[in-house]
Amino acid sequence: MNGKMFARLGAVVFVAVAITATAIELTRKEEAPASPSARPTESASVDPLRDELIRCQFLGEAGTRDTACLHAWARNRERFLAAAARPAERLPESPQSPRPTASSATTAPAEDDPIRKETAPVMAPEPGEAR
């Protein structure tokens, strides 16, 4: 068998698989939509603040001058930034790092300082050296 025969055989197999997949897809029945109780109802998600914020969004730049939009944005900020909106359990406080004293701030950096290690000293070119 030569290369042409393998190419033809591969093409025939590919076409047969494509026709079979198409036939299976066409004979498949459509699934019934989810039950109405599974969908959220429009009346359950009515939020007047959300509706006002959407209206202000459509106003664009004019929303910054609209007093109703300014009040809606303030109420929205209060919703997320109010003390009641914060979780009761707080993260543990991070340990305080020791503050540097005046004498330690004036000393030279340690030898294990990565910034100092990576920075090469500036050297002036020698008189006969080309730049």
Give a yes or no: residue 76 inside a domain. Answer: yes
Give the domain extent around 69. 46-86
Q: What are 72's two structure tokens?
A: 């809606």
Q: What are 25's two structure tokens?
A: 């897809």
Give a yes or no: residue 79 inside a domain. Answer: yes
Return the ∠ at Cα 84 (arms to 80 and 87), rounded to 5°. 85
d(CA 71, CA 84): 20
Residue owning tokens 């910054």: 64
For the ranges 37-41, 65-69, 118-122, the maximum mean pLDDT occurs at 65-69
Q: Given this model, what pLDDT does residue 88 score?
A: 60
Domain count, the chain: 1
Residue 17 has pLDDT above 70, yes or no: yes
Enumerate residues 6+ apart whose C-beta is below 8 A from 63: 56, 57, 69
Residue 119: band (very low, low, confident or very high) from pLDDT cuts 50, 70, 90: low
Give a yes or no: residue 21 inside a domain. Answer: no
Residue 20: band (very low, low, confident or very high) from pLDDT cuts 50, 70, 90: very high
Give a yes or no: residue 110 inside a domain. Answer: no
Give a yes or no: residue 68 inside a domain. Answer: yes
Give a yes or no: residue 104 inside a domain. Answer: no
Report the mean per-residue pLDDT for the chain. Answer: 75
Enumerate residues 6+ apart whose C-beta is below 8 A from 68: 52, 56
Give a yes or no: residue 130 inside a domain. Answer: no
The sign one gets for the Cα dihedral 81, 83, 85, 90 is positive
Give a yes or no: residue 59 inside a domain. Answer: yes
Residue 82: band (very low, low, confident or very high) from pLDDT cuts 50, 70, 90: confident
For a pLDDT cut of 70, what percent of the chain falls above it?
53
Q: How does pLDDT run across 59-80, given as a tens digit for each residue? A: 888 888 999 999 999 999 888 8
Q: What's the predicted TM-score (pTM) here?
A: 0.34
124 versus 98: the higher-pLDDT residue is: 124
